[in-house]
């Protein structure tokens, strides 16, 4: 990077978004519930009678990011169980058609298994389809137990490598700069856990944007666009013979008695709260404002909230609210846009709406140093 004699970036400003936004236009606002699990995401197997159930849910604000890595762990667990039990049956049931179910199904097919996906919501209606799509580990609890940390390192390495290998192949994945005012903990955690996986962050004495005279950081990470990625996974699975069955399960007994498959992969996200009676699951709502697509914007930006330019929209988000109400509030989305426009000097500065939430045990869940939460 070019610096002047004071060490200040000589980069000229990058383009500013057009913040024109009418929250009452159809499709202008979106809300989704992150499947947050208070102790840690769940990735383990249990034998129930003659069935193996592998759980893969509770990935909070990082499910897209971790998906391929968790899918690889699911595949390995199923393979090990098959070898140990000398199983020849090929039928597998995957519960859930979000990113966790679709990626797990993809890698199980590679074992030569016959996969059926059961879902209550089809892929384009899932939380996964609504996600922003930055490759970062946000709003995710994980166990600090040594073996679990090693597992997460494997997941991150595998997921990043697979996403990176799919750039330019129609999966909606690209490598992007992310500028942020404060250190972005969702990316910092990757640097801490797997040093060298992502390019090093760069400290900038001034962020190269209109309205900014503050220092910040430039990260290099991936953007995974769910409106491209999720339908692509679904198409590929169907082309490889996977059947999708619309079926809502009421509880674990319903799953175990009604399915004939002896291997069941539980990727039901927030649904696992009721389905598997998991009281550690907590819905964290995120609201997004969807602005018109702006191909001249080629960077992600974060300052409490975030701005992600994608092919379908420029999205502005970052709110975190503990509620099971999945509806959006147009006025809240308008505030999000006003806030972001203020950060770029396009409007008078206003505070970020409803960013911080509190854990039921009254601990602050969102680190106050966070610049981005997803």
Task: State which of positions 220-279 bind ligand FAD (CB under 6 A).
Answer: 248-249, 267-271, 275
Q: 101 vs 305, which CB is nearer to ligand FAD?
A: 101
Residue closest to 43 by CA, chosen among 16, 75, 18: 75
The reply on whether position 115 binds ligand FAD by CB under 6 A is no
Does the footprint of ligand FAD cover residue 178 (CB under 6 A)? no
Nearest to 192 by CA among 153, 159, 222, 218: 153
- Between CA 21 and CA 274 the distance in angstroms is 37
Query: Is residue 309 a contact residue for ligand FAD (CB under 6 A)?
Result: no
Residue 61 touches ligand FAD, criterion: CB under 6 A = yes
Say if strands 243-246 and 114-119 run parallel, antiparallel, or are unpaired.
Answer: parallel
Out of 126, 185, 261, 263, name the contact with ligand FAD by CB under 6 A: 126
Query: Is 63 among the residues that bind ligand FAD (CB under 6 A)?
Result: yes
Binding residue count for ligand FAD, defined by CB under 6 A: 42
Contacts of 62 (CB under 8 A, 6+ apart): 136, 137, 138, 139, 140, 186, 374
Q: Does residue 172 interact with ligand FAD by CB under 6 A?
A: no
Distance of alpha carbon 228 from alpha carbon 234, whole angstroms:
10
Binding of ligand FAD at residue 342 (CB under 6 A)? no
CA 364 from centroid of its chain's CA atoms: 21
Binding status of residue 28 toward ligand FAD by CB under 6 A:
no
Question: Cα(339)–Cα(348) distance, rounded to whole angstroms?
Answer: 9
Burial of 51 (0-12, 13-18, 19+ CB in 10 A): middle
Nearer to ligand FAD, 97 or 181 (CB): 97
The minimum distance between CB 4 and ligand FAD, in angstroms, equals 35
Among 132, 283, 305, 342, binds ligand FAD (CB under 6 A): 132
Pick from 118, 276, 301, 344 the residue near ligand FAD by CB under 6 A: 118
Residues between 199 and 228 with contacts to ligand FAD, criterion CB under 6 A:
none
Q: Find the shortest distance in angstroms from Cβ 238 to ligand FAD.
A: 15
Nearest-approach distance from CB 304 to ligand FAD, in angstroms: 15
Q: Which residues are bridge partners to 265 per DSSP?
A: 54, 94
Q: Nearest-CA neighbor of 369 among 301, 304, 302?
A: 304
Residue among 65 and 116 whose Cβ is closer to ligand FAD = 65
Q: Cα dihedral angle (156, 189, 65, 53), rounded to 10 degrees?
A: 60
Selected binder of ligand FAD within 45, 53, 65, 335 (CB under 6 A): 65
User: In this chain, which stretch among 47-55, 80-88, 96-104, 199-207 interacts with ligand FAD, using CB under 6 A?
Assistant: 96-104
- The one segment of 118-126, 199-207, 329-337, 339-347 that binds ligand FAD by CB under 6 A: 118-126
Reading phi first (left if > 0) and then psi (alpha if -120 to 50, else beta), residue 64 is in alpha
303 alpha-carbon distance from chain centroid: 18
The span of 106-114, 126-134, 148-156, 361-369 binding ligand FAD (CB under 6 A) equals 126-134
DSSP lists the bridge partners of residue 29 as 289
For residues 320 and 284, is the Cβ–Cβ distance under 8 A? yes
Return the SS3 of 315.
strand
Residue 283 sits in the site that holds ligand FAD (CB under 6 A): no
Q: Rule CB under 6 A: which residues touch ligand FAD?
A: 32, 34-35, 57, 59-65, 95-101, 118-121, 126-128, 130-134, 248-249, 267-271, 275, 286, 288, 317, 374
């Amino acid at each position: 990077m070019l610096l002047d004699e004071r060490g200040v970036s000589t980069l000229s400003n990058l383009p500013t978004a057009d913040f024109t936004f009418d929250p009452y236009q159809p499709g202008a606002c979106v809300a989704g519930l992150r499947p947050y699990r208070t102790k840690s995401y769940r990735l383990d197997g249990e034998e129930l009678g003659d069935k193996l159930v592998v759980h893969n849910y509770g990935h909070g604000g990082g499910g897209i990011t971790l998906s391929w890595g968790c899918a690889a762990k699911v595949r390995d667990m199923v393979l090990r169980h098959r070898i140990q039990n000398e199983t020849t049956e090929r039928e597998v049931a995957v519960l859930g058609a979000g990113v966790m179910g679709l990626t797990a199904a993809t890698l199980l097919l590679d074992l030569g298994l016959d996969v059926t996906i059961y879902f209550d919501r089809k892929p384009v209606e899932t939380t996964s389809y609504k996600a922003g799509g930055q490759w970062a580990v946000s709003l995710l609890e994980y166990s600090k137990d040594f073996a679990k940390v090693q597992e997460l390192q494997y997941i991150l390495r595998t997921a990043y490598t697979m996403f990176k290998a799919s750039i330019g192949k129609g999966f909606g994945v690209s490598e992007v700069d992310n500028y942020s005012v404060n250190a972005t903990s969702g990316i910092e955690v990757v640097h801490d856990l797997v040093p060298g996986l992502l390019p090093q962050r760069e400290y900038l004495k001034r962020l190269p944007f209109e309205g900014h005279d503050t220092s910040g950081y430039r990260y290099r990470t991936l953007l995974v666009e769910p409106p491209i990625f999720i339908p692509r996974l679904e198409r590929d699975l169907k082309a490889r013979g996977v059947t999708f069955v619309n079926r809502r399960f009421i509880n674990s007994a319903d799953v175990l008695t009604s399915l004939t498959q002896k291997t069941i992969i539980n990727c039901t996200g927030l649904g696992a709260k009721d389905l598997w009676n998991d009281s550690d699951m907590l819905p964290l709502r995120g609201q997004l404002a969807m602005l018109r697509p702006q191909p001249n914007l080629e960077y992600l930006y974060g300052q409490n909230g975030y701005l992600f330019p994608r092919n379908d929209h420029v999205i502005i988000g970052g709110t975190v609210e503990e509620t099971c109400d999945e509806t959006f509030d147009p006025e809240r989305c308008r505030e999000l846009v006003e806030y972001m426009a203020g950060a770029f000097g396009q409007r008078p500065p206003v505070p970020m709406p409803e960013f911080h939430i509190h854990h039921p045990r009254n601990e602050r869940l969102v680190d106050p140093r966070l610049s981005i939460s997803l």
